[in-house]
Chains A and B, each alone.
Chain A
Amino acid sequence: SQQGEEDPQALSIQEGENATMNCSYKTSINNLQWYRQNSGRGLVHLILIRSNEREKHSGRLRVTLDTSKKSSSLLITASRAADTASYFCATDNSGGYNKLIFGAGTRLAVHP
């Protein structure tokens, strides 16, 4: 079963614009992670936010977590054509076993 649901399913923007993707989940979590997948490739870890954190930054990425609403958002600022990929949120509620449940992903297209 898939715990996380991303919104929107697809997003198309111009280079330089910001991209915001949202993730909702159902049960309490230990942490939430965001991964990127380029077409035909494996997934690459972007950022992890723990259940007791509210916001994290990494370069052009900003992740927020609202445990009361069971939701997270990923913001990519000043997007580039190279950011074109699918983005997945994954939740860990396995109590230390590092077992992830992935959402269906958001397909981001950044046009030059």
Chain B
Amino acid sequence: EAGVAQSPRYKIIEKRQSVAFWCNPISGHATLYWYQQILGQGPKLLIQFQNNGVVDDSQLPKDRFSAERLKGVDSTLKIQPAKLEDSAVYLCASSSLAGGHEQFFGPGTRLTVL
């Protein structure tokens, strides 16, 4: 089966610019996650969707970050405006309600904010 797809793989922007990331989860997976992974740290959950509803967004900086999951499939994560400290890898993952607790991760988008 195809894995979790993310694009772009790399993005370099100036601070105060905006950026958007896209994720296509594994077909049929109801739950989708966005994580931020700063260099040398573990992934930190930003937002979790179940179908197209938000389950948890307690660690999403809502003044600059937004995410949506239209029709319960693809998702986009946006940062506007970006700050230097947003430089990180943004990982998307998905899991199946019926498949247990394993999360399947995409390759990530490496964001550099200059």
Contacts and interface: CB of A to CB of B under 8 A. Distances in A.
Interface residues of B, number: 23
B102 interface: yes
B103 interface: yes
A97 B48 contact: yes
Interface residues of A, number: 25
A31 interface: yes
A57 to B, nearest CB: 17
A97 B56 contact: yes
A46 B102 CA distance: 9
Nearest to A30: B101
A104 B37 CA distance: 10
A100 interface: yes
Given A41-B107, A42-B91, A42-B108, A98 B101 contact: yes
B21 interface: no
Given A42-B107, A101-B45, 8 more contacts: A40-B107, A41-B108, A43-B105, A44-B105, A98-B101, A99-B48, A102-B44, A105-B41
Interface of B: 4, 31, 40-45, 48, 55-56, 91, 93, 95, 100-108
20 contacts: A2-B41, A33-B101, A33-B102, A35-B105, A40-B107, A42-B107, A43-B103, A45-B102, A45-B103, A48-B101, A48-B102, A88-B43, A90-B42, A97-B56, A98-B95, A98-B101, A99-B55, A100-B103, A104-B41, A104-B42
